[in-house]
Amino acid sequence: MSHSAWQAVLERLDEAAELAKLDPDVHRMLRTPKRTLEVSIPVRLDDGSIEVFTGWRVHHDTTRGPGKGGIRFHPTLDVDEVKALAAMMTFKTALLKLPFGGAKGGVRCDPSSLSLSELEGVTRRYAYEISPLLGPDSDVPAPDVNTDGRVMAWLMDTYSMVSGRNAPASVTGKPMAIGGTRGHAGATSSGCLTCARVAFRELDIPMVGGRAVVQGFGKVGGPLAFLLSSAGMRVVAVSDIGGAVYNEGGLDIGALSDHVAESGSVAGFGGGEMIDDAAIWSIDCEMVVPAALGGVIDAGVAERISAPIVVEAANGPTTVDAQPVLDRRGVVVVPDILANAGGVTASYFEWAQALQGYPWDEQVVAERLRQRMEDAFTAVWARAQTLSVGMRTAAHVVAIERVAEAIAARGLFP
Ligand code: NAD
């Protein structure tokens, strides 16, 4: 995503605001993030020199609760992208009825060029600089692209040191040893699986034996490919940054995972034939799952997708001009703010457990996650039918109405 990511969010907000007959004052409030903090992050590198990185933390809206949203480390990150992702978190948390607002943050850096101690230095100084915003009842970060449990542990430790007390509820996606939740790792993927199941059911298309194409084989795409194949689907193609692999009979995802663990990419996997990356979109199948980057389904790609279902595991994979093409062609798109909300839902469970100081069983986490995802899907599906619009628009309408209701209930300060 780039500068246009924020424009895309505004366009989607404007469209939904009109359909929801949103109060124009509330509409204007949601068109502007509540606060944007830009920080400078000086870090001493291993060679003794000092590099100065730039980072941000954005709160889009916090009416429904503390800001919630990931921390992204990426060399092309900019403030418009962070604003867009923060707004998407406002909608996502409202859609799942989580008691949070929308936030996002990150540092413009290339983590692949940093040593472990440099990465820790970037994380800790960034956490310190944004610490005035952080806290279990004000802003609760989580992992995002290029950040993980280890980075969350450094963040939680830095915040705890700065605030002078142990604060496990200040960050989610933490390792189990310091208050992480069971079931966090695969939560986004299993949320996508629930969405896929209900979509197949609503469209009366058999899922078992159906063919799926998955772009991206990382933290989301990898476990999701496995879950889809365990659910009886044939995952016929998978791609990652190294290439794309195809097998008409269905790839052996366990063997593919082993291959990726050894070689770092799906490229060169013996259980299928290598195909051109771009060719994955034209493959005959029942479901396409973008689980890598934003902006990959443009209008041209949308013309080539033959599947009746697209489940957006990635954030922002479909461009604004691609959506009408998919609508015209009758493709049901389960939008990102619904499809990939399993991760933030598990984060909510982690926060609640940390506040209670009482861990839940894995089955409790899994069942509550499935139920919330199914309820959110059902609410969006029903609204899409009544308004005769696609699921993306319906999801924004449902979310915006919930945020507007909270804004109206609280009134305007002072
Ligand atoms: P990741 O870094 O673990 O994996 C990304 C995958 O995409 C890798 O397999 C990578 O090789 C592949 N990829 C990168 N460039 C590609 C290209 N040009 N063509 C094909 N594949 C390419 O990231 P992730 O955590 O799996 O996140 C993937 C997407 O899901 C992102 O959009 C992220 O914002 C979104 N998301 C993730 C979570 C989560 O829980 N991790 C939650 C919500 C949304």
Q: What is the pLDDT of residue 1?
A: 45
The residue whose CA is least distant from atom 16 of ligand 1 is 241
Binding site membership of 215 for ligand 1 (Cβ less than 6 Å): yes
Mean pLDDT of 38-50: 98
Binding site membership of 238 for ligand 1 (Cβ less than 6 Å): no
Binding site membership of 118 for ligand 1 (Cβ less than 6 Å): no
Q: Are 86 and 33 in contact (CB under 8 A)?
A: yes
Q: What is the pLDDT of residue 293?
A: 86
Q: What is the pLDDT of residue 2?
A: 43
143 C-alpha to center of ligand 1: Å? 12
* E strand map for 34-90: 35-44, 50-61, 67-74
pLDDT tens column, 328-365: 999 999 999 999 999 999 999 999 999 999 999 999 99
Mean pLDDT of the chain: 96
Atom of ligand 1 nearest to the CA of 260: 9
Q: Are 123 and 144 in contact (CB under 8 A)?
A: no
Helices (H) and strands (E) in the chain, counts: 14, 12
Of 36, 204, 174, nearest to 104 (Cα)? Answer: 36
**Which residue, chain included where needed, has tokens 């430790």?**
157
For a ligand 1 pocket test, name from 93, 189, 219 the mutation site with the most ligand atoms within 8 angstroms of its C-beta.
219
Name 213's bridge partners.
237, 288
Q: Give the predicted TM-score (pTM) of the model.
A: 0.95
Q: What angle do CA 274, 278, 280 make, to 5 degrees?
A: 65
Distance, CA of 163 to CA of 290 (rounded, Å): 40
349-372 b/e (C-beta count within 10 Å ≥ 16 → b): bbbbbbeeeebbeeeebbebbbeb
The one-letter code for the residue type at 218 is G
Q: Which of 68, 83, 92, 104 is catalytic?
A: 104
pLDDT at 410 over 60: yes
218 C-alpha to center of ligand 1: Å? 5
pLDDT tens column, 76-93: 999 999 999 999 999 999
Distance, CA of 38 to CA of 17 (rounded, Å): 29
411 C-alpha to center of ligand 1: Å? 39
Binding site membership of 188 for ligand 1 (Cβ less than 6 Å): yes
pLDDT tens column, 153-178: 999 999 999 999 999 999 999 999 99
339 C-alpha to center of ligand 1: Å? 14
Which strands make up the sheet holding 101-108, listed edge to edge?
35-44, 50-61, 101-108, 67-74, 139-143
The residue whose CA is least distant from atom 4 of ligand 1 is 218
pLDDT tens column, 87-135: 999 999 999 999 999 999 999 999 999 999 999 999 999 999 999 999 9
Residue 92 appears among annotated catalytic residues: no
Q: What is the pLDDT of residue 49?
A: 98
